[in-house]
Amino acid sequence: VGASDETSGRAAASWSVMVKASVAPPGFSWSRKDATKEAQKTTDEWEKRGCPDAPLLDFYMYRAQTDENYSPVNQDMANIGGMLWYLHNEIIWHHWIRVGSFSSTPKTRLEQWRIKMRPTCQLWNKGLTFGIVNTYDLGECTGPFKCQNIKHYGPTVGCETWDEGKMSHFPHEEWFHRVKYPHAAWYSLPGACSSKKFWAKDKGCALREPSGACPDGVEEPTGEIDCTYTYKKVGEISIDELEGISSFDDLMKKGGYEYSRSADKGKMLHFWDNINSTDANQRRIDITLKKFMDKYPDHPYLEDPTCDFDPRIFFPHWPKGDFH
């Protein structure tokens, strides 16, 4: 989302160049046929064909990012509300530098990605479009439940929200009733070899655990195990631009700061005041959306999809997370 996207940029960029969609690591040829064949050897639980009856979703995801560039594959993403909640809760209260509790590289910009996605039939037959949000650390899927869902359903896009009356607030239940950004959502985009960190990934693992990212040139995801989503970066704004300041460093030098958790406001900057005000948070969402729309007027307006994830349906033995 930033959210749990606290990766080493160089490692992420290196692996994403290696296995992004149809780009193969040195020494072997990436093939959807090979990926399916290898996956079939590993498990007969995965869906091996597309799922044309499942809906195609087309929407934007966002990420609070450093100055480093790498793909969103094997990463966590968000809608605008989810990204702003991450910044508000994790980043901007650290005075002097925009880093988080689990991040040492400063966040400088907000990226916008256009995502098209279609679930596998294994998931769609459960009546779900989205799977669970998986968390990632340096490209490795770390949970929940040891990421068994990827083996069972395939690398499907995950979502999580904290709206009242919904069950989609798992696995971060501790934030239920705490997130005051209306309809905030986090997403996950499973990639190749998600069981290993960036530097440990290899061609055999990439074949056994295909990426959900479709091969280059594919316009619409099919719902096959190696083609559940496409992604394209379409825009970005700086955090300074969002806050209406010329320079974060200048703000610090003048004695100001973005936000104090104890005071629930900033100094010489008041964009982030009132973290628990739904109205103030909605204004921040609206301002962010307008910044992107003004900067990229030719981009279509796309509604956020409904997060239909429900652990009671997704996990056959809920609250246990196994599939046996």
Instruction: Give 265-314 pLDDT, tens digit per residue.
Output: 999 999 999 999 999 999 999 999 999 999 999 999 999 999 999 999 99
The sign of the torsion formed by the CA atoms of 144, 148, 149, 150 equals positive
Instruction: Give 245-310 as a 3 state SS string.
Output: CCCHHHHHHCCCEEEECCCCEEECCCCCCCCCCHHHHHHHHHHHHHHHHHHCCCCCCCCCCCCCCC
Buried b / exposed e over 82-101, threshold 16 CB at 10 Å, is bbbbbbbbbbbbbeeebbbe
The token duo for 28 is 């072997």
The token duo for 122 is 């294994």
With beta carbons less than 8 A apart as the criterion, state whether 14 and 20 touch. Answer: no
The pLDDT, as a whole number, for residue 173 is 86
* Residue 221: cis peptide before it, omega within 30 degrees of 0: no
**Neighbouring C-beta atoms of residue 15, cutoff 10 Å:** 28
Query: Phi/psi of residue 322, each to 5°?
Result: -95, 170
The pLDDT, as a whole number, for residue 128 is 98
The pLDDT, as a whole number, for residue 2 is 53
The pLDDT, as a whole number, for residue 105 is 84
The pLDDT, as a whole number, for residue 74 is 92
The token duo for 198 is 């960036």
Low-confidence ranges of the chain (pLDDT < 50): 3-32, 34-36, 38-47
Beta-strand runs (E) in the chain: 57-65, 75-78, 109-117, 135-137, 140-143, 158-161, 185-189, 229-238, 257-260, 265-267
Distance CA 143, CA 157 (A): 14
The pLDDT, as a whole number, for residue 19 is 40
The token duo for 88 is 């508000």
